[in-house]
Amino acid sequence: MVKLSTVAVVAWVLASAALWAGLHWRFRRPALHKAEEALVCICEERARMLQDQFAVSVNHVHALAILVVTFHYDKHPPALDQDTFAVYVARTSFERPLLSGVAYAQRVVHADRESFERQQGWIIKTMKHEPSPAQDEYAPVIYSQPPRRPSPTSRKRRGES
């Protein structure tokens, strides 16, 4: 009789475990499918947002190029200086929330290097602040502006500390 009750208990435990596993897999599959669909929708929306932000960034780059072409090239002295560039960057920072800073580098071919350096009043250097060796072309940064940090008062308005 003890053996029969032991067999019954083991059978009950196995049947319960099998029932639990079956129910688990039955409810898990639709939940996983629903979660996968939600994740796909989120990813597609994020991809659209990134495409839109990229398009805005491209438009900003075009506007920056127009600004430099209009007020820097062939102007003696240039109508664009670092302060004007900084004001432009500050006033348009909302258009490029993902960029950490803005810089404009002019393309200079080797044949024009000497006259460019004379005109600018400085020599083209490497990132290590050494004079740049001879190359076919250079891209010295003419204007640069680091990202604008939010002021303490604007952070307080947004609830940040």
Angle at CA of residue 55, ends 49 and 61, nearest 5°: 135
Q: How confident is the model at residue 155 (pLDDT cuts 50, 70, 90)?
A: very low
Say yes or no to pLDDT of 158 above 50: no
Q: What letter does residue 140 receive in the DSSP assignment?
A: -
pTM of this prediction exceeds 0.95: no
Structure confidence at residue 34 (pLDDT) = 96
Q: Could you tell me the residue ranges of all domains in the chain? A: 102-145
Structure confidence at residue 93 (pLDDT) = 78
Q: Which of the two residues, 95 and 58, has the higher pLDDT score?
A: 58
Q: How confident is the model at residue 149 (pLDDT cuts 50, 70, 90)?
A: low
Average pLDDT over residues 1-6: 76
Structure confidence at residue 1 (pLDDT) = 56
Neighbouring-strand partners of residue 104: 143
Q: How confident is the model at residue 96 (pLDDT cuts 50, 70, 90)?
A: confident
Report the chain's terminal Cα–Cα distance, integer Å.
Answer: 73
For residues 65 and 69, give the distance between their C-alpha atoms in angstroms, rounded to a whole number. Answer: 6
